[in-house]
Chain A
Amino acid sequence: MKGKMYILGAMLLVGLMLSTGCAKKSVGPGDGTAGSATGTGYMGQEAETQRQAREAREAEALRERQLAEQRRAEAEAARNRAAGVEQVVQEIQDARIYFNFDSFELSAEARTILQKKAELLGAHPELNVLIEGHCDERGTEEYNIALGERRAKAAYEFLILLGVDSTRIQIISFGEEYPADPANTETAWAKNRRAEFKIRK
């Protein structure tokens, strides 16, 4: 009965220690009362050391797993970013803007396209852009070089207005030299009166 009381007391003490979160390893008052259990105390310390070592190993393993995971995540992010840039480059390059005959006025559609480009360029400060001005073949050659310049310049100025740094944009006019569609039709001419955007990293 007395022994049971001791055990109960020890359990209470352990419970108290646990409940107060006290990590103190100093021998408590109850230890003295368990004088006959000195052998068990030694055994407990050894177990504790092993447990600590195990926990340390586990923590180490966890850290390694986390690191590996982080590395994987980073690599994937980089891959995603690269794919993202590719996509952005493609998005900027694919969307051309079109003009009316003998005009360099930006249409509402052209402005929308340029807005998107400005956003993309804003998110990717590492990208620079070359704006090419093109014309259909109906005008005369020299005037078309000038008109192509006006078209590229109109897009350039709109992008600057939207906050793209002017040093990131270069323009060139090709006049009527490089038609997108060499056919001699209204449809082809409409496709040829354009500004193209080429990314330069």
Chain B
Amino acid sequence: MTMGQVLSINNRHSCVHGIHMTSCRNFLFLFFFAVILFPVRSASAADTLSIDIFGPGQTAVNLYQAAPMFEEKGKGLPEPASSLDDHIRANLAFVPFFNQISAAELLEGGRLTGYRGDDVDFKKLRLGKVDLLLTTGWVAPYGVELRAYEVFTGRLVVGKAYTLAGPDQTGLVATRFCSALMEALTGRGGFFTSRIAFARKTGRIKEVFSVSAVGGNARQETDLKGISTSPAWSVDGRRIVFVHMDGTTHRLGVVRPDQGEVELHGVPGNTCISPAFLPDGKLTVSLNPEGTPNIYRVDETFDIEAPLARSWAIDISPSFDLAGTRMCFVSSRLGNPHIFLKDLRSGETRRITYDGTYNTSPALSPDGKLVAFSRQTDDGHRIFVHELETGRERQVTFGPGNDEEPTWSPDNYFLAFSSSRTGTYKLYVTTRHGDKAKRIPTGQGSATTPAWGPAVSE
């Protein structure tokens, strides 16, 4: 984005920047005091543009995160300052349209005279081609104000104030602020506050874990030994379903992360593959009591209620849109595995992939418009995105190794996937446009079968 372009701001954020924060945990006491700051220049019609993250292409936003300042001049920065600064920087590195500008690239080392808009010389920043300025002002040892300004107009995009209950809350504050910033710029939040469930394998043991989309706050969801894999979230985020294998049996597992409960259930047949929740909370899973793996809807007692995809061959990996009207899945009914789409109202099924001979792990975007899937190419598996309306396909990951198992963020913009590009399977994030993939820290062992959870409401 050049200086002449107007950085997008949603109108609703251009007046009063009082956004309520509610504490999500008991231990967290986030005070919010409305930071009422009026824009330097009133928004004109041209200012109402947003960053169109869904457009055919994107322009990078040059972002400068200024060094934190302390209200009480002369005193050293409070203890959590550098940690918060690092967390914000690491979070924003996941957003591909942010191009982070270093202080060294700017006049006078990017030093600011204050952290409030009135005290900032935006002209200097404009010369440095900065589009978006982030300031951090510490007002107390555990009190901080975070702001984002559009440099061209000097307008405040987001302003928030937080009081930390302890030094370990910098990650949470960074997540909240970055989420608000994304929401303000793109109209979509949820990326920073949603969680990704995945299977982590060390040795011969695989357990289900979940982690925030930017890799923080990892949590082990199962401790069953054997193999626990293929997690999928319920739409309300209160249940994770998964497949468990011990030495002789497959079972269906359900985790309730809030309660720390894990249940295992026997299923008809001897094979249990790719469970998934329908938006209405019903469970679907591929089972083989009729001879081959078919996709069924099951009832509360895990008995078969109705078949959703049934053939002489393999039918697995159902994925639904948020409306629950469409299901894409994998079937080998034509010999090789291909992606199919079923209209759940008419019952009509059509084939989606025609290229390649091994197309698997489909993920229908929550808006039901795009199917991401992995296709085996001569160079290994790669993620492709298929637009249902036009039939256009686009490769969005480029290896090396294998890129598999895509999953959509709740905003239909980001894609997480597993890749063996470093030799071990780990999780990565890209976008529907195929932006440079960034690794999600998941700790020891291999990480596979990512499943993006719902956006957590603030």
What is A's interface to B at a CB cutoff of 8 Å?
Answer: 102, 130, 138-143, 145-147, 149-150, 153, 170-174, 177-178
Contact with A along B231-270 (1 / 0, CB 8 A): 0000000000001010111100000000000000000001
Do residues B360 and A143 form an inter-chain contact, with CB atoms below 8 A? yes
Do residues B448 and A141 form an inter-chain contact, with CB atoms below 8 A? yes
With beta carbons under 8 angstroms apart, the residue of B248, B293, B314, B360 that contacts A140 is: B360
With beta carbons under 8 angstroms apart, the residue of A140, A147, A149 that contacts B405 is: A140
Do residues A140 and B381 form an inter-chain contact, with CB atoms below 8 A? yes
CA distance A150 to B314 in the complex (A): 8
Do residues B288 and A149 form an inter-chain contact, with CB atoms below 8 A? yes
- Can you list 25 A-B pairs, Cβ within 8 angstroms, ordered by A? A102-B336, A102-B337, A138-B376, A140-B360, A140-B381, A140-B404, A140-B405, A141-B361, A141-B449, A142-B316, A143-B314, A145-B243, A145-B271, A145-B273, A146-B332, A147-B314, A149-B270, A149-B293, A150-B292, A172-B249, A172-B271, A173-B250, A174-B245, A177-B204, A177-B229
With beta carbons under 8 angstroms apart, the residue of A130, A138, A143 that contacts B316 is: A143
The answer, yes or no, to whether B286 is at the interface (CB within 8 Å) is yes
Point out the residues of chain B lying under 8 angstroms from A177, CB to CB. 204, 206, 227, 229, 245
The answer, yes or no, to whether B365 is at the interface (CB within 8 Å) is no
Q: How far is the CB of A11 from chain B (nearest CB, A)?
A: 84
In the complex, number of A-B residue pairs with CB atoms less than 8 Å apart:
81
Contact with A along B392-433 (1 / 0, CB 8 A): 000000000010110000000000000000000000000000
Do residues A146 and B204 form an inter-chain contact, with CB atoms below 8 A? no
CA distance A164 to B268 in the complex (A): 23
- Chain B interface SS verdict (over half): strand
With beta carbons under 8 angstroms apart, the residue of B206, B248, B317, B358 that contacts A142 is: B317
What is B's interface to A at a CB cutoff of 8 Å?
Answer: 204, 206, 227, 229-230, 243, 245, 247-250, 270-271, 273-274, 286, 288, 291-293, 314, 316-317, 330, 332, 336-337, 358, 360-361, 374, 376, 381, 402, 404-405, 448-449
Residue of A nearest to B230 (CB): A142
Do residues B273 and A172 form an inter-chain contact, with CB atoms below 8 A? no
Do residues B336 and A172 form an inter-chain contact, with CB atoms below 8 A? no
CA distance A149 to B314 in the complex (A): 10
Point out the residues of chain B lying under 8 angstroms from A173, CB to CB. 250, 271
Given A140-B405, A141-B405, A142-B273, does the pair A172, B316 have CB atoms closer than 8 Å?
Answer: no
Q: How far is the CB of A147 from chain B (nearest CB, A)?
A: 7
Point out the residues of chain B lying under 8 angstroms from A145, CB to CB. 243, 271, 273-274, 316
Q: How far is the CB of A85 from chain B (nearest CB, A)?
A: 21
Do residues A142 and B361 form an inter-chain contact, with CB atoms below 8 A? yes
Residue in A102, A149, A170 with the greatest tally of chain B CB atoms within 10 Å: A149
Point out the residues of chain B lying under 8 angstroms from A139, CB to CB. 358, 360, 376
CA distance A13 to B293 in the complex (A): 94
- Chain A interface SS verdict (over half): mixed
Residue in A143, A147, A171 with the greatest tally of chain B CB atoms within 10 Å: A143
Residue of B nearest to A148 (CB): B271
Given A142-B317, A147-B314, does the pair A172, B245 have CB atoms closer than 8 Å?
Answer: yes
Do residues A170 and B248 form an inter-chain contact, with CB atoms below 8 A? yes
CA distance A138 to B378 in the complex (A): 12
Q: How far is the CB of B202 from chain A (nearest CB, A)?
A: 13
Q: How far is the CB of A188 from chain B (nearest CB, A)?
A: 14
CA distance A143 to B316 in the complex (A): 7
CA distance A178 to B205 in the complex (A): 10
CA distance A153 to B360 in the complex (A): 21
CA distance A189 to B337 in the complex (A): 19
Point out the residues of chain A lying under 8 angstroms from B245, CB to CB. 172, 174, 177
Q: How far is the CB of B327 from chain A (nearest CB, A)?
A: 15
CA distance A62 to B108 in the complex (A): 116
Q: How far is the CB of A134 from chain B (nearest CB, A)?
A: 12
CA distance A177 to B243 in the complex (A): 13
Do residues A142 and B360 form an inter-chain contact, with CB atoms below 8 A? yes
Point out the residues of chain B lying under 8 angstroms from A153, CB to CB. 288, 291
Do residues B271 and A143 form an inter-chain contact, with CB atoms below 8 A? no
CA distance A115 to B222 in the complex (A): 42
CA distance A177 to B204 in the complex (A): 8
CA distance A142 to B227 in the complex (A): 13
Point out the residues of chain B lying under 8 angstroms from A142, CB to CB. 230, 273-274, 316-317, 330, 360-361, 449
Q: How far is the CB of A149 from chain B (nearest CB, A)?
A: 4
Do residues B314 and A172 form an inter-chain contact, with CB atoms below 8 A? no
**Nearest 3 interchain pairs by C-beta:** A146-B314, A140-B360, A149-B271
Q: How far is the CB of A100 from chain B (nearest CB, A)?
A: 13
Point out the residues of chain A lying under 8 angstroms from B317, CB to CB. 142-143
Residue of A nearest to B381 (CB): A140
Residue of B nearest to A176 (CB): B448
Point out the residues of chain B lying under 8 angstroms from A170, CB to CB. 248, 270
Q: How far is the CB of B406 from chain A (nearest CB, A)?
A: 11
Q: How far is the CB of B92 from chain A (nearest CB, A)?
A: 32
Point out the residues of chain B lying under 8 angstroms from A178, CB to CB. 204
With beta carbons under 8 angstroms apart, the residue of A102, A146, A172 that contacts B358 is: A102
CA distance A138 to B243 in the complex (A): 20
Beyond A141-B229, A142-B274, A145-B271, 7 additional pairs, beta carbon < 8 A: A141-B361, A143-B337, A145-B274, A145-B316, A146-B273, A146-B286, A177-B204
Residue of A nearest to B271 (CB): A149
Point out the residues of chain A lying under 8 angstroms from B361, CB to CB. 140-143
Q: How far is the CB of B260 from chain A (nearest CB, A)?
A: 26
CA distance A146 to B313 in the complex (A): 10
